[in-house]
Amino acid sequence: ESEDGDNKPVVHVEVRLYSDCTRLPLLFHTAVISWIEESVESVRYGSELRGWEELRGFQGNVERIYIEEGTSKEGDLTVQVAEADFEIHVYRPSEEEIEEFTADLDEDDDEEKVSAASVRPLPSIELDGVWDTLVYSDDIKSRLLNYIYSTVFFSESDIDFNVVAWNRVILLHGPPGTGKTSLCRALAQKILIRLSQRYTHGKLIEINSHSLFSKWFSESGKLVQKLFQNVTDMVDDDQCFVVVMIDEVESLTAARAGAMTGNEPSDALRVVNALLTQLDKLRTRKNVLVLTTSNLLGAIDEAFISRVDLQEYVPLPPPQAIYTILFSIIREMMKKGMIKHIDLPSWGLVKTLLRNEEWRESPGRSAEVGKSLAKLAEKCYSLELSGRTLRKLPVLAHTQYLTKSRSSEERPRRVERWIEAMDKYVD
């Protein structure tokens, strides 16, 4: 942001190139910004931008142009081009496949392989859009992005690490099914898109703590060394940004605690210590970030917590977020023709409508649907349903209540029937 008191909102524009595009991303960068400034009047947050298809050199090279999600201060989804600053991020998703990092447990037996980690190239097509499907009612997503920006800013300024220090470790904790794992993956993808001018590619290494810390301890020590040797090699490429993800870090602690009750340091302890040592070594590298998740904050040991820079609690979704999740489910089903189209009011509108006496007497259909959806959201909230459970609701409700009519003409296509079925299922 500029320092002259100019408070324009920053709109992030993601320009996705086809993975076989060989032209310099920078070319599109300038072309997109001038096209927006000259020919576009307003843009809508969280939607694709159209009308660029005829621009010279875009056909066959640019796959889509997307305006990142966001809202204006007033909560509007539309923003006037003249009133905003634009940041353009041009990226090319990788075509490489996910690789499993396996170890032989038994050298004589090829079948006995255990996957210690998977390595996913970034940016990745599958992860595009995951960020937007995650709904939180506070600004946890922007806090995470701001932390990334801060660490990159410090790193790029070549700050003396002995004077200003940080660990590059984030911990997301909270109840199961609240989107922590998805948020880590989506954040990794976002980083690569937002920093596309600095880093041309990246890797997301998901460490499988269960297999690493559970059964095969004696092997795991060596495995951790090998794994991190790989990570270090990746980090040596300074065009590459590396995200290391450790799900359920409490299993790391459990292994340690188990070891403490015995008399001698066990294999488990060695594995955990090896991992912590390796994480410490990454601390001074510019292009690394460690993302961890846990369902049980209390069970994580001090040695790990002290290495965490940013701890975020990821709560169960409140009614507003539930409404938005259910809304997104219904919108998807309408898009695929399973439910007949109807305009649904936003949560803000439903709340205003509910307060408005006049409307209560003679509501339109769409307001009525909004109202029953809001009621369902409140009910799900009081039952402490997680985001994961909510996403399963349509299938479960269908299984239970809507399978009677098999022929396509009889299929339930009215949104009211679906909401009613989900409501019954929740009961």
State the minimum distance, in angstroms, from the CB of residue 182 to ligand ADP.
3
Q: Which is nearer to ligand ADP, 178 or 196 (CB)?
A: 178
- Least Å distance, CB 84 to ligand ADP, is 26
- Nearer to ligand ADP among residue 182 and residue 346 (C-beta): 182
Which chain residues interact with ligand ADP by CB under 6 A? Answer: 133-136, 176-182, 293, 317, 321, 325, 387-388, 391
Residue placing its CB nearer to ligand ADP in the complex, 182 or 200: 182
Shortest Cβ 109–ligand ADP spacing (Å): 32
Minimum CB separation from ligand ADP for residue 147, in Å? 19
| Residue placing its CB nearer to ligand ADP in the complex, 61 or 133 | 133
Q: Which is nearer to ligand ADP, 388 or 398 (CB)?
A: 388
Residue number closest to ligand ADP, CB atom: 387
Of the pair 225, 311, the CB lying nearest ligand ADP is at 311
Distance of closest approach, residue 63 Cβ to ligand ADP, in angstroms? 24
Q: How far is CA 286 from CA 32, 232, 240, 289, in A?
A: 30, 12, 10, 9
CB of 356 to ligand ADP, least distance (A): 29
Q: Which is nearer to ligand ADP, 12 or 180 (CB)?
A: 180
Whose Cβ is closer to ligand ADP: residue 177's or residue 319's? 177
CB of 205 to ligand ADP, least distance (A): 17
Q: Min. distance of Cβ 327 from ligand ADP in angstroms?
A: 11
- Three-class HEC string of the chain: CCCCCCCCCEEEEEEEECCCCCCCHHHHHHHHHHHHHHHCCEEECCEEECCCCCCCCCCCCEEEEEECCCCCCCCCCEEEHHHCEEEEEEECCCCCCCEEEEEECCCCCCCCEEEEEEEEEECCCCCCCHHHHCCCCCCHHHHHHHHHHHHHHHHHCCCCCCCCCCCCEEEEECCCCCCHHHHHHHHHHHHHHHCCCCCCEEEEEEECHHHHHCCCHHHHHHHHHHHHHHHHHHHHCCCEEEEEEECCCHHHHHHHHHHHHCCCCCHHHHHHHHHHHHHHHHCCCCCEEEEEEECCHHHCCHHHHCCCCEEEECCCCCHHHHHHHHHHHHHHHHHCCCCCCCCCCCHHHHHHHHHCHHHHHCCCHHHHHHHHHHHHHHHHHHCCCCHHHHHHHHHHHHHHHCCCCCCCCCCCCCHHHHHHHHHHHHC
